[in-house]
Amino acid sequence: TNYRYLFFLSLIVFRFLLEFSYVGIVSQKYSYAGFELNFGVINYITSWIFFFISFLFVKDHVYKVSDYFFTIAFIFVIVPLAVLYGYDLGRSVLPLITAVFSFMFIKFIVEFRYVSFKKVPTIKNGLNYVIVICLLFVTFLVVWYYLSGVVYNLNLKKVYDYRENNFKLSSLGVLAYTNIWTFKIFNMVLFAIALYFKRYFLSFLVFLVQVYFFAASANKGVLFTPFMILGVWFYLRRTSGLLALPIAMSSLILVTLFTFYIFNDIWVSSLFSRRLFFVPAHLTYVYFDFFNSNPYVYWSNSLLSSFSNYPYDTSLAHMIGRYLGKDMSANNGFIALGYAHAGLYGVFLYSLIIGVILRFINDVTYKLIPIWFAVALTIVPLKKLLTSSDLFTTMLTHGFIVALIILLLVRSNR
């Protein structure tokens, strides 16, 4: 009980630090980008009400993958949405309410007693198949990047200078999918397997390959993913408690505050407090605002493209970028994209599907895969799903389906 109180106290501290970052840095330096400071008491109190309501689905320990999902959903989605609503009278409360009840509904589906996948059989020698498949894809991409003529870059500040051109050179046809699967899923599976069997030299070699993939793809997430998996491996092997997660996020915000106020450096704050937390939250409000007065898409840009006409002349992400007055791709998570497709019905449908997927992961991994390994394999697509990608895009483009298949293969009763 004391641990649970301490966990929730750490979440409150994290919110206060994020508020301090927003008021003192983000709203001051980036007001031109929509991060305005327009405080209202009613808004602020309301934001705290929904903040505390969300405690109903937050987990302080991780025994299943869904436990981890709900905690990162709270930290990366609910808290930033609440802070923005609390400090800007111009924002609608609908995105915040929708997000809270979306996760409540997902929790209901995950815990629904009449949904079960526990009888799915294990596959003999599945781990061997996984290792061979991953090695083939990783080896191919190492060679292909070399042959494609991409320009390598290790400077985090210059990734956008190289990303588009490198993508055109290396992501031809089906490679647009398999390349992403390779550095987000296949190579990270090898990394996790090496850690599991305590082959630390091999895990270091796999990490170097991931750095190579970062240099060739110019995608920052590629570089950060091994550290996420390493953190999950190091921490969850020793404890099931999640207290370290809000403490780590609070420490990250403290670093941004320190570098800004001591060294007058805005880059760290821009990269973490603004980009990691507030940009996805702000875009959620923008998506809701846009589609409150414009036609829904109804999946006419993807699944139902053969049956209905897409109402816009560019992609959803670029449409929102244009709405913001910029030539940019404004991607967002499943809540914003579900609303873009069919309003609240779209969010409800996505929540239902995600709930079923999480229940599936819980059932097929329970006592058959170490919890840290299951979290490590799903951490990237789940984070994408929450803040930067549509559900079906996450399933296919970002390799969530591939991760689910790998989970099925590596399970063992031994």
Phi first, then psi, for residue 189 (nearest 5°) are -65, -45
Residue at 141: amino acid letter:
L
3-state secondary structure the chain: CHHHHHHHHHHHHHHHHHHHHHHHHHHHHCHHHCCCCECCHHHHHHHHHHHHHHHHCCCCECCCHHHHHHHHHHHHHHHHHHHHHHCECCCCCHHHHHHHHHHHHHHHHHCCCCCCCCCCCCCCCHHHHHHHHHHHHHHHHHHHHHHHCCCCCCCHHHHHHHHHHHHHHHCCCCHHHHHHHHHHHHHHHHHHHHHHCCCHHHHHHHHHHHHHHHHHHCCHHHHHHHHHHHHHHHHHCCCCECCHHHHHHHHHHHHHHHHHHHHCCCHHHHHHHHHHHHHHHHHHHHHHHHHCCCCCCCCCCCCCCCCCCCCCCCCHHHHHHHHCCCCCCCCCCHHHHHHHHHHHHHHHHHHHHHHHHHHHHHHHHCCCCCHHHHHHHHHHHHHHHHHCCCHHHHHHCCCHHHHHHHHHHHCCCC
pLDDT bracket for residue 398 (50, 70, 90): confident
* For residue 412, pLDDT beyond 80: no
pTM metric for this prediction = 0.91
Q: What is the pLDDT at residue 155?
A: 86
Averaged pLDDT for residues 6-35: 94
Phi-psi group of 325: left, alpha or beta (phi > 0 → left; psi -120 to 50 → alpha; rest → beta)? left
- pLDDT for residue 308: 84
pLDDT value at residue 366: 86
Average pLDDT, the chain: 92
Whether 414 shows a pLDDT value over 80: the answer reads no
Lowest mean pLDDT of 24-33, 44-53, 101-110, 323-332, name the range. Answer: 323-332
The residue that leads in pLDDT, 114 or 87, is 87
Whole-number pLDDT of residue 279: 94
% residues pLDDT > 90 (the chain): 71
First to last CA, the chain: 34
Residue carrying the six token digits 């109190």: 45
**Looking at the predicted structure, is the pLDDT value of residue 36 above 80?**
yes
Per-residue model confidence (pLDDT) at position 68? 94
pLDDT in tens, 99-152: 999 999 999 999 998 888 888 888 888 999 999 999 999 999 999 999 998 999
Digit-coded pLDDT (tens) for 271-311: 789 989 999 999 999 999 999 999 999 999 888 778 888 99
For residue 168, is pLDDT > 80?
yes
Instruction: Kindly report, residue by residue over 341-356, the tens digit of the pLDDT.
Output: 999 999 999 999 999 9
Mean pLDDT, residues 81-89 taken together: 96
Residue 7: pLDDT over 90: yes
